[in-house]
């Protein structure tokens, strides 16, 4: 199978909206939203490639930039050997009849003032399909019927249809120019669950009938599993893992993919499964985390050199660091709390209380008590002492100095697993990286993979 659409190093950065107020404050720099950062992917002829990730991870932006509905900042795209990123205006118009997008929201993607006939006939007119309007109307009627709506709907307006029917119209519009590839951008996520399956079936039938290639964007792992031949997982503008669907679901390699998969509800309640819990919110693509962008939430994040505690203990230290940096710990509240309970309110007592609550997590429901290695214990406590003394920045800096994951330093590159069709971007799979950490950490990194933060 040769590659039909090749995306090579595609990057899309947005500058945050320029405004008068911003211009009056030259001290504030324009912040860049790095929505898509150096992504390479290819869609092979006749295949359906899934693109999954949480909302805001840049998957729609990637698709739009790939067909130049928005102009990419950098990188190139090839379609059938031609460089799309170098197309002139007229070449781009030609290209539009090859690759068509089906948009997410059928309530927004149809012009409310157009009849169905007009919606379907306009693209044909642009691409000189059909000799005259009579012929085009006939074609529109048969397309509509193929998509499951009767020709009697041709003269209706979008507001007379349900969401599912509108999406059928949108699909018919995409097919009206006889494309060889579809980009389906969350085509069912705006629809009722009961309608979703029927639209997915329709897409599947049409794909087979017309030999279409497809880039299928979704945040729903179970839909992707049903529809796609291969799947690419995206996190904050980067590809985390690409694999044939079977392999991705049975043998996920990237910790993020593992977390996503563990979140799929299992239909059989008797099946016990480890659920990986993702800490924190999805960071914004403005100033994304350094190194591996997943590191602030990664349950398997590699410990710092010389760490000789467990992965669970390491996670506690990182969590403490995160809360300190976010100013979620308040020594004075804790002190008042102790006073209420008529306990000692000395600085040492406050430190101990903070430690018990946030590190050892004594008495916190559902959390096992974890003990830190002795030297870490000391560092954490002296950091807490600084906090109690009112020096939060110092406390953060102290933890930062001693406990920074190597994952934050370097960006992982894609490594190949097995037959070469399976790739993931995680330092755990980079032999040189792991040996380097391993030499100091014993079997820790591997231990991390095995146990994770399983509950």
Partner 1 sequence: MAIDTKHSENRSVVDQVGSRVRWLVAVYRRLDLSAQVSFWIVAAISVAAAAAPLITPYAPGEQLAITADPALKLHPPTPANPMGTDLYGRDVFTRLVYGARSSLAVGLLAVGIAATIGITAGSIAGYVGGWVDESIMRVMDILISFPALVLAITLVGALGSETVITILPVLGELLASLPVVGSWTSNNIINVIFVIGLVYSPQIARVTRGEVLRTSEEEFVEAAENTGLSRVRILVQHILPNSMAPVLVQSTFLVATAILFEASLSYLGLGVQPPIPTWGVMISNGQGYLPDSWWWTTFPGLAIMVTVLALNLLGDGLRDEFDPRSATDGGPN
The whole-angstrom separation of Cα 160 and Cα 154 is 11
Please choose which of partner 1, ligand SF4, none residue 273 contacts, taking the beta carbon within 5 to 8 angstroms, the exact cut-off set by kind. Answer: none
Please choose which of partner 1, ligand SF4, none residue 103 contacts, taking the beta carbon within 5 to 8 angstroms, the exact cut-off set by kind. Answer: partner 1
Footprint of partner 1 on this chain (CB under 8 A)? 64, 67, 69, 92-94, 96-97, 100-101, 103-105, 108-115, 117, 122-123, 126-127, 134, 137-138, 154-155, 157, 159, 170, 173, 177
Of 230 and 300, CB closest to ligand SF4: 300
Q: How far is the CB of 10 from partner 1 (least distance, A)?
A: 18
Strands 181-185 and 99-102: parallel
Q: DSSP letter string over 407-449? A: GGTSPPPPEEETTTTEEE--GGG-HHHHHHHHHHHTTHHHHHH
Please choose which of ligand SF4, partner 1, none residue 295 contacts, taking the beta carbon within 5 to 8 angstroms, the exact cut-off set by kind. Answer: ligand SF4
Of 50 and 303, CB closest to ligand SF4: 303
Burial 432-443 (b: 16+ CB within 10 A, else e): ebbebbeeebee
Q: How far is the CB of 17 from partner 1 (least distance, A)?
A: 13
Q: How far is the CB of 284 from ligand SF4 (least distance, A)?
A: 18
DSSP state of 286: B
The whole-angstrom separation of Cα 197 and Cα 175 is 20
Footprint of ligand SF4 on this chain (CB under 6 A)? 254-255, 292, 294-295, 298, 300-302, 407, 412, 426-428
| Residue whose C-alpha is closest to residue 291's, from 304, 280, 310, 278 | 304
Q: How far is the CB of 245 from partner 1 (least distance, A)?
A: 27
Task: With beta carbons less than 8 A apart as the criterion, state whether 280 and 297 touch.
Answer: yes
Task: Measure the CA dihedral 288/292/294/295, to 10°.
Answer: -100
The CA–CA distances, whole Å, from 108 to 101, 115, 150 equal 14, 15, 22
Of 167 and 304, CB closest to ligand SF4: 304
Q: How far is the CB of 240 from ligand SF4 (least distance, A)?
A: 7
Q: How far is the CB of 183 from partner 1 (least distance, A)?
A: 9
How many CB atoms are closer than 10 A to CB 191?
A: 22
The whole-angstrom separation of Cα 202 and Cα 216 is 14
Please choose which of ligand SF4, partner 1, none residue 316 contacts, taking the beta carbon within 5 to 8 angstroms, the exact cut-off set by kind. Answer: none
Of 220 and 279, CB closest to ligand SF4: 279
Q: How far is the CB of 324 from ligand SF4 (least distance, A)?
A: 20
Q: Can you say how many angstroms the Cα of residue 402 is from the centroid of all Cα atoms in its chain?
A: 30
Q: How far is the CB of 433 from ligand SF4 (least distance, A)?
A: 8
Of 87 and 249, CB closest to partner 1: 87
Q: How far is the CB of 94 from partner 1 (least distance, A)?
A: 8
Of 298 and 384, CB closest to ligand SF4: 298
DSSP state of 180: S
Please choose which of ligand SF4, partner 1, none residue 210 contacts, taking the beta carbon within 5 to 8 angstroms, the exact cut-off set by kind. Answer: none
Q: How many residues does the chain have?
A: 455
Of 127 and 277, CB closest to partner 1: 127
Of 118 and 381, CB closest to partner 1: 118
Of 102 and 408, CB closest to ligand SF4: 408
The whole-angstrom separation of Cα 185 and Cα 106 is 11
Please choose which of partner 1, ligand SF4, none residue 194 contacts, taking the beta carbon within 5 to 8 angstroms, the exact cut-off set by kind. Answer: none
| Residue whose C-alpha is closest to residue 66's, from 156, 160, 3 | 3
């Amino acid at each position: 199978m040769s590659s039909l659409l090749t995306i090579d190093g595609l990057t899309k950065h947005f500058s945050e909206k320029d405004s008068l107020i911003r211009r009056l404050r030259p001290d504030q720099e324009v912040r860049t939203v790095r929505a898509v950062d150096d992504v390479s992917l290819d869609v092979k002829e006749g295949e359906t490639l899934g693109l999954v990730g949480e909302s805001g991870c840049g998957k729609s932006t990637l698709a739009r930039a790939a067909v130049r509905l928005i102009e990419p900042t950098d990188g190139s795209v090839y379609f059938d050997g031609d460089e799309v990123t170098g197309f002139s205006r007229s070449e781009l118009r030609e290209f539009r009849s090859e690759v068509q997008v089906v948009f997410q929201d059928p309530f927004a993607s149809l012009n409310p003032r157009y009849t169905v006939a007009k919606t379907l006939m306009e693209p044909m007119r642009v691409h000189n399909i059909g000799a005259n309007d009579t012929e085009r109307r006939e074609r529109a009627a048969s397309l509509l019927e193929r998509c499951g709506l009767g020709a009697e709907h041709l003269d209706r307006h979008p507001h007379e249809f349900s969401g599912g029917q509108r999406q059928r119209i949108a699909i018919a519009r995409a097919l009206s120019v006889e494309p060889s590839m579809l980009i389906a951008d969350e085509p069912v996520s705006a629809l009722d669950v009961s309608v979703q399956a029927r639209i997915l079936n329709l897409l599947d039938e049409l794909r087979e009938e017309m030999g279409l290639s497809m880039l299928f964007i979704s945040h729903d792992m179970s839909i992707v599993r049903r529809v796609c031949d291969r799947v690419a997982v995206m996190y904050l503008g980067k590809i985390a893992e690409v694999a044939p669907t079977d392999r991705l679901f049975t043998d996920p390699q990237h910790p993020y993919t593992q977390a996503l998969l563990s979140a799929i509800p299992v239909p059989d309640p008797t099946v016990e499964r480890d659920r990986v819990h993702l800490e924190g919110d999805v960071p914004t693509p403005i100033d994304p985390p350094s190194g591996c962008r997943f590191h602030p939430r990664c349950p398997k994040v590699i410990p710092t050199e010389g760490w000789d505690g467990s992965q669970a203990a390491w996670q506690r230290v990182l969590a403490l660091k995160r809360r300190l940096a976010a100013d979620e710990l308040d020594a004075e509240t804790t002190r008042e709390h102790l006073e209420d309970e008529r306990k000692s309110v000395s600085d040492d007592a406050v430190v101990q209380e903070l430690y018990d609550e946030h590190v050892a997590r004594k008495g916190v429901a559902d959390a096992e008590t974890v003990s830190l290695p002795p030297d870490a214990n000391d560092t954490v406590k002296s950091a807490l002492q600084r906090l109690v003394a009112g020096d939060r920045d110092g406390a953060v800096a102290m933890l930062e100095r001693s406990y920074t994951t190597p994952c934050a330093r370097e960006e992982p590159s894609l490594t190949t697993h097995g037959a070469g069709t399976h790739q993931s971007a995680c330092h755990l799979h980079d032999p040189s990286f792991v040996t380097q950490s391993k030499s100091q950490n014993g079997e820790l990194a591997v231990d991390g993979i095995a146990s994770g933060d399983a509950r």
